[in-house]
Amino acid sequence: MPVQALDPQLGVDEFLYSEDTFPALCPSGGSVWPKKQEAKRDTDMINWRMMRYRLEYLVFQTLVCVVRSLPLRESVKLAKGLAFVIHRCLPRKMTRYHVAAENLRTAFGEELSEKEIDETIYQMWTHLFRMIVEIIQLPRKLHRGNIFDVLDFDYPPELITALCSGRPVILLSGHYGNWEIAVSVFGLFGFPMGVVARELDNPYLNKWFAQFRQHTGHRAMAKSGGYDDMVATIERRGHLALLGDQDAGKRGLFVNFFGKPASTFKSIALLALEYRAYICVGYARRLPDDFEQNQWIKFEMGCEELIDATKCVSKDPVGELTQQFTSSLEKAIRKSPEQYFWVHRRWKSQPRVREKKKRQAEPIAEKRAA
């Protein structure tokens, strides 16, 4: 069947998206290319998404302006007010309350009552909003001249030796305390790092946070697809900063976290072993407020453990190192559990049961049933 000629009354788009243009090639009656309406819907979806991103960024920049203009105590009250709205006013399903509560029960068992769990979740949201406020204020509030007024340091002398040793250092932390301040301090001391973080869906917010991390000399690296950048940095004996407390899926390495197996990324241990890197399990947790004595917030910046991968002599070095830094992170979190982000599904993945063991267990179960 001959191909339909181009009608001079039709535009190119109308011709291409017409169902009658190539009937011989489309026995089902459909067109070769997507329908014009479908393409239009896709375009409308992209336009709506970009409009939403711009609106989110406008709201965020408004918050930035408000926070920068507020006195310290008023900014803390703002954070507490937002936490109250999230925790007390919004539906619990929306705020992932039950996920956080279950994680706290898993971590602490009978150590915490239901009332204490609820209070910890409220304090967690307060901490999160205070951290956002602190990030906005940080470029103006923290500099080399007042580092020791803002931070109390708790780290072994070997950490400075490691940073100056010519070997790479992996600064490892979790969603605990104000991890952004911890990274910024290393930049102020003259130790630039490759900061590995997940790119935000909103490109405008992603650019803002990337510029924030770069203002102290660091380089932003995408967590997704950024492995080559990480390896290149390590090969140059540079330093990396990353968070290692999220679920790594079924292919992750299961190690104990608060006494329960949790899927953990093994790439951290593999990098440390291959490139003879140190692993510094660090944190920056907020200390109790003292607005009379302190000009800003006070933090404790600590190194829970400095791990030298070259001294690992285990038959399973990857497993040992992964368990070691996970246990160290747990110790840090126990100091201020309300400053940990419990809404992550840390124990989402479960260890696989080997098929062989499963097959062996089935006949035994059948015999018992008989």
pLDDT tens-digit map of 226-277: 778 889 999 999 999 999 999 999 989 999 999 999 999 999 999 999 999 9
**What are 275's two structure tokens?**
């490139």
SS3 content of the chain, % helix, strand, coil (to 5): 55, 15, 30
Element (H, E) at 211: helix 203-214
The strand ranges marked E within 92-250 are 151-154, 169-173, 193-197, 219-222, 239-243
Give residue limits of the domains in the chain. 146-339
**What CA–CA distance (Å, rounded) separates 364 from 343?**
40
DSSP 101-127: HHHHHHHHGGGS-HHHHHHHHHHHHHH
Is the pLDDT at 68 greater than 80, yes or no? yes
- Residue 6 binned pLDDT confidence (cut-offs 50, 70, 90): very low
From residue 14, give the alpha-carbon distance in Å to each of 18, 26, 42, 152: 6, 17, 17, 69
Tens digits of residue pLDDT in 93-111: 999 999 999 999 999 999 9
Greater confidence (352 vs 367) lies with 352
**What CA–CA distance (Å, rounded) separates 251 from 89?**
38
- Residue 129 binned pLDDT confidence (cut-offs 50, 70, 90): very high
**What are 357's two structure tokens?**
């063991």
**Percentage of the chain exceeding pLDDT 90:** 64
Is the pLDDT at 210 greater than 60, yes or no? yes
Q: What is the pTM of this model?
A: 0.81
Is the pLDDT at 38 greater than 50, yes or no? yes
